[in-house]
Structure formats: structure tokens, C-alpha cells
Amino acid sequence: MRLRNVTGSREMIADSRFVVHDPFDHKGKWKEVFGNTNPVHIEIGMGKGRFIMDLAAAKPDVNYIGIEKYSTVLLRATQKMAENELPNLCFIRMDAEDICEVFDKEEVAKIYLNFSDPWPKDRHAKRRLPSRQFLARYDAILAKDGRIEFKTDNQELFDFALEEIEPAGWELEAATRDLHHDEKMMAGNIMTEYEERFSSLGNPIYKYIIYRQQFENGG
Ligand code: SAM
């Protein structure tokens, strides 16, 4: 994502009541943050937040947490929240590398990865959000029957992500190389900012849903 330096964005984020400022203190206690026992779904690399805000508005019985590394980007999401406040959504500004310090074992019921940065150089592969290194982190926080849903317009990243599934101990539940022409997988689809932009250019959108092999039979 191209970043414009928005002056004071870090300070504005620090003042925002939509951002959880001490996420490490809430490990194992996210139900208290929302004040209910609804499942927690997270989006990692949420950008300006359109996807997770539309999702949270559509599903009030799910608690949503949007995670974004950069204040300049997150600021836009907090501004949108100020116009349309959603009680079941909050944001965290952090690098997802530290996600295991923020969520306890099985505390998250679903993880969304949308249009993750491709990190095209081989030596940066472990920074890709669907890499085996990140899958191991997700394994440590996801409920046994939890799912990861990943969308991208980047064919190389999608091929890489598919190759990472099995060695990391995960199983493919569903996949498409043209989401917008796949009636079944498109049902209930919520567009992200990047998805809107790239699909309007005619680019196909790739998507997979994965779960963990060892919990296949509910074990
Ligand atoms: N998901 C949005 C969409 O589909 O429109 C934004 C996609 S943008 C290409 C990727 C976003 O992920 C950027 O805002 C970037 O800052 C964020 N990001 C990348 N790596 C991250 C990480 N390790 N932790 C948190 N956010 C990250």
C-alpha cells in the first residue's frame, strides 16, 4: 500500500477510542473488552477498514478486531468509525508478527487476510501473511474448528499460499481462481478497497478457505 505521511496520525490514533491501545494486556480477555461472549473474528492488514466495517455492520453477533500496522492507514478507519460507530468492532495498530502476545490459545474463531502485501523477494517470504511462519502463529490462537479466509489478486502470492498449506499442517476447504465468477464462493462476499479497485480493472480475484488437519473430525 502506498503510504502518504499524514501529519499527526500517530497522535490521533493514540487518542482514538476505537483503537485498543494496550492489546497485550487483553490476551485471554477479549470477551471483557466487548462485554459479551460472542466469537471473535480478526482481519490482519485491514487497511482503511471497509471490509471489516461492512462485515461488522452485517453481523452484530460477532465481535470483530481489525489489525493494521500503520497509523496513517488506520486513521482512515477510525474516521469512518466516528461517522458510523459499531459496538462489535475495534482496531489494533500492531505488526501481526506479535499476534500470539495479543490472543490466547483458541481465542479467535476466524482470521481474514485480504490482499496481503506480496513481499516478492524470496528472502522476504516469511513476512508474507499466508506464509508457514504466519500459519504457525495463527495455529496458536485459532479455535479448533477455526478457518482462515484469504483473498488476493496476486497470482504468485496465491500460488505461494497454496504451497504453504500442507507443510504447515493445514487443509484446503475451498479455493477459486476467479471469485467473482464463482457463484458458491461469492455468496455473501464483502468487497475490500483493493478488491473493488482490482476487480474493476478486470483482474481475477483468488480466494481460499483453510482449516487445520488435526481437527478435521472435531478432535
Ligand atoms: N486489506 C485491505 C484491502 O484489501 O483493501 C488492505 C490491503 S493492503 C495491500 C495490505 C495492508 O496490510 C496494508 O495496510 C499494510 O500496512 C497491512 N499489513 C501488512 N503487513 C502487516 C503486518 N505484518 N501486520 C499488520 N498489518 C500489516
The strand order across the sheet containing 206-212 reads 89-93, 63-68, 40-44, 108-114, 142-152, 206-212, 170-176
Which ligand 1 atom sits closest to the C-alpha of 193?
5
Residue 5 has pLDDT above 80, yes or no: no
- CA 219 to ligand 1 centroid distance, Å: 33
- Domain ranges for the chain: 1-104, 119-219
Instruction: List, chain by chain if needed, residues with CB within 6 Å of any ligand 1 atom.
Output: 1, 44-47, 67-70, 73, 95-97, 114-117, 192-195
Residue-wise pLDDT tens digits, 40-52? 999 999 999 999 9
Active-site residues: which are they? Answer: 117
User: What would be the CATH architecture of the domain defined by 119-219?
Assistant: 3-Layer(aba) Sandwich (3.40)
Given pLDDT bands bounded at 50, 70 and 90, which one contains residue 2? Answer: very low
- CA 134 to ligand 1 centroid distance, Å: 14
**Number of helices and strands (H, E) in the chain?**
8, 7
Domain 1-104 identical in fold to domain 119-219: yes
Q: Helices 50-58 and 71-83, interaxial angle, to 10°? A: 30
Smallest CA separation from ligand 1 atom 14, residue:
47
Smallest CA separation from ligand 1 atom 20, residue:
45
- CA 68 to ligand 1 centroid distance, Å: 6
Residue 216 has pLDDT above 90, yes or no: no
Which ligand 1 atom sits closest to the C-alpha of 97?
23
- Residues ≥6 apart with Cβ < 8 Å to 197: none
Residue-wise pLDDT tens digits, 94-144? 999 999 999 999 999 999 999 999 999 999 999 999 999 999 999 999 999
Annotation: CATH topology of 1-104: Rossmann fold (3.40.50)
Which ligand 1 atom sits closest to the C-alpha of 96?
24
- CA 35 to ligand 1 centroid distance, Å: 28
Given pLDDT bands bounded at 50, 70 and 90, which one contains residue 11? Answer: confident
pLDDT given at position 181? 97
